Amino acid sequence: MSRTVLITGGAGFIGSHLADELIAHGYSVRILDSLLDQVHGAAQRPSYLDPNVELIRGDICDPKAVRYVCHGVDIVYHLAARVGVGQSMYDIVNYTATNNLGTAVLLEELMKRPVGRLVVASSMSIYGEGLYRRPDGSLRAGRERPLDQLKRGDWEVYDDDGQVLTPVPTPETKTPVLASVYALSKYDQERLCLMVGRAYQIPTVALRFFNVYGPRQALSNPYTGVLAIFASRLLNDNPPIIYEDGQQQRDFVNIADLVRACRLAAEAPQAAGQVFNIGSGEAHTVAEIAGRMARVLDKAHIQPQVVGKYRVGDIRHCFADISRARQVLGYVPQVSLQTGMAELAAWLRGQVAVDQVAQANLELEKRGLTV
């Protein structure tokens, strides 16, 4: 028998791919989405959305809309959120309203209508700095880099003795360090869902997404994923802008792998009550990613602009330890970065991107959020 799934914020990049994945496995899908201009441009049903999806335009903060879409639902994926570290540091009200209040509105409805599984999208941003190894081989959490150090252009993370620490994969057990309004709101979403889920016997799973990439990313949104931002610049023959020195390491996970992990999170009985990293388990520098993006778009002659500045809320290194997701969910990444970027490039060649990155960076600079 087909089960009905609600995806909040489901008309965008991740949600639409998740809808495809679920429909392919026999689920019925309903989406609640506000069709935010910054993400969607024209507020209309996206052409890429499967025709079998029931799309309802509404605000996650509106109790009436949430009550309506939750009727008859068996599983809820809570993806609705404002995204982006930089913008969150000055658009505080909107980020807090959507991410924190919106989650509370959803949970108050689910208290009255418990579902068989709630899966909430969290973020790697909650870790702050990732996990590191000291020169003696012991592990320690990376600490926030002092502002005076960053002003000198010294980007590394050090131990108490002044020795450079080596980044290692970050597990779910690392204590969160909330370095931005966005990170704080995502942690709030995660903990609220797990807390209320436990209290009201709603089996709940939190997935900490790392840097997701693939077709359908919002290319004109300057606060989206780094690959889409670089692509937007390159498609307009502008150089990718790289902060610090470009050697910061991140984990880039293909959208096909990520939505498969989302489906597994709803289907694995033992996943309830747990938190999982969803990434590729591999580390790549931001400079490497910019170079790869330029090559797959035949724009290798455009060299990135390394600005040597720090953005408030940024961290040096963080990439995923995915061993828990492998063991409990059966999650195994299948799309290599090379294959995924080639697929992304093929999609990008048919797209128009409005490059608003420079304007977004100026917004940060005039507010003193870059040093």
What would the DSSP string read from start to end of 305-324?
EE----BTT--SB--B--HH
The tens digit of pLDDT for each residue in 61-113 reads: 999 999 999 999 999 999 999 988 888 989 999 999 999 999 999 999 999 99
Binned at pLDDT 50, 70 and 90, residue 366 comes out as confident
Binned at pLDDT 50, 70 and 90, residue 225 comes out as confident
Domain range enclosing 112? 4-366
| pLDDT over 60 (residue 311) | yes
| pLDDT over 70 (residue 247) | yes
> Rounded to an integer, what distance in angstroms lies between the CA atom of residue 64 and that of residue 109?
10
DSSP state of 146: P
Please enumerate, as own/partner, the contacts of 133-136 that have beta carbons within 8 Å and a separation of 24 or more. Answer: 133/165, 133/166, 133/167, 133/168, 134/159, 134/163, 134/165, 135/159, 135/163
Whether residue 371 lies inside any domain: the answer is no
Query: Which DSSP helix (H) or strand (E) runs through 277?
Result: strand 275-278
Binned at pLDDT 50, 70 and 90, residue 248 comes out as very high
Phi and psi at 214, nearest 5°, equal 150, 180
Averaged pLDDT score across all residues of the chain: 93
Mean pLDDT to the nearest integer, 120-144: 95
> Rounded to an integer, what distance in angstroms lies between the CA atom of residue 30 and that of residue 363?
36
What would the DSSP string read from start to end of 1-52?
---EEEEETTTSHHHHHHHHHHHHTT-EEEEEE---HHHHSSSS--TTS-TT
Neighbours of 216 (CB within 10 A): 19
User: Would the CA dihedral through 10, 342, 124, 180 be positive or negative?
Assistant: negative
Phi and psi at 31, nearest 5°, equal -125, 135
| pLDDT over 70 (residue 39) | no
Q: Which residues contact 115 (CB under 8 A, 6 or more apart)?
A: 70, 73, 74, 75, 76, 202
DSSP state of 371: -
For residue 305, the one-letter residue type is: Q
| pLDDT over 60 (residue 1) | no
Whether residue 223 lies inside any domain: the answer is yes
Binned at pLDDT 50, 70 and 90, residue 350 comes out as confident
Whether residue 357 lies inside any domain: the answer is yes
Amino acid 224: pLDDT: 66
Domain count, the chain: 1
Whether residue 313 lies inside any domain: the answer is yes
The residues pairing with 320 across neighbouring beta strands, listed in sequence order, are 170
- Reported pTM: 0.94
- 48-73 burial, b for 16+ CB within 10 Å, e for fewer? ebeeebebeebbbbeeebbeebbeeb
The residues pairing with 205 across neighbouring beta strands, listed in sequence order, are 119
Q: Which residues contact 249 (CB under 8 A, 6 or more apart)?
A: 167, 283, 284, 285, 286, 316, 317, 318, 319
- Rounded (10°) CA dihedral 262, 263, 264, 269: 110
Whether residue 218 lies inside any domain: the answer is yes
The tens digit of pLDDT for each residue in 259-273 reads: 999 999 999 999 999
| pLDDT over 80 (residue 195) | yes
Q: Shortest CA distance to 166 belongs to which of 195, 190, 191, 135?
A: 135
Whether residue 108 lies inside any domain: the answer is yes
The tens digit of pLDDT for each residue in 153-176 reads: 999 999 988 999 999 999 999 999
Mean pLDDT to the nearest integer, 264-286: 97
Amino acid 219: pLDDT: 79
Binned at pLDDT 50, 70 and 90, residue 359 comes out as confident
Amino acid 41: pLDDT: 56
Contact 142, 128 (CB under 8 A): yes
Quick one: 369 exposed, middle or buried, by C-beta within 10 A (0-12, 13-18, 19+)? buried
State the catalytic residues: 182
Chain centre distance of CA 146: 26
Contact 74, 115 (CB under 8 A): yes
Task: Tell me the two tokens of residue 172.
Answer: 């779910």
Whether residue 49 lies inside any domain: the answer is yes
Amino acid 78: pLDDT: 98
Whether residue 115 lies inside any domain: the answer is yes
For residue 199, the one-letter residue type is: A
Q: Which residues contact 36 (CB under 8 A, 6 or more apart)?
A: none
| pLDDT over 60 (residue 208) | yes
Instruction: Give me the CATH number covering residue 332.
Output: 3.40.50.720
| pLDDT over 80 (residue 222) | no
> Rounded to an integer, what distance in angstroms lies between the CA atom of residue 67 and that of residue 36?
20
The tens digit of pLDDT for each residue in 331-348 reads: 999 999 999 999 999 998
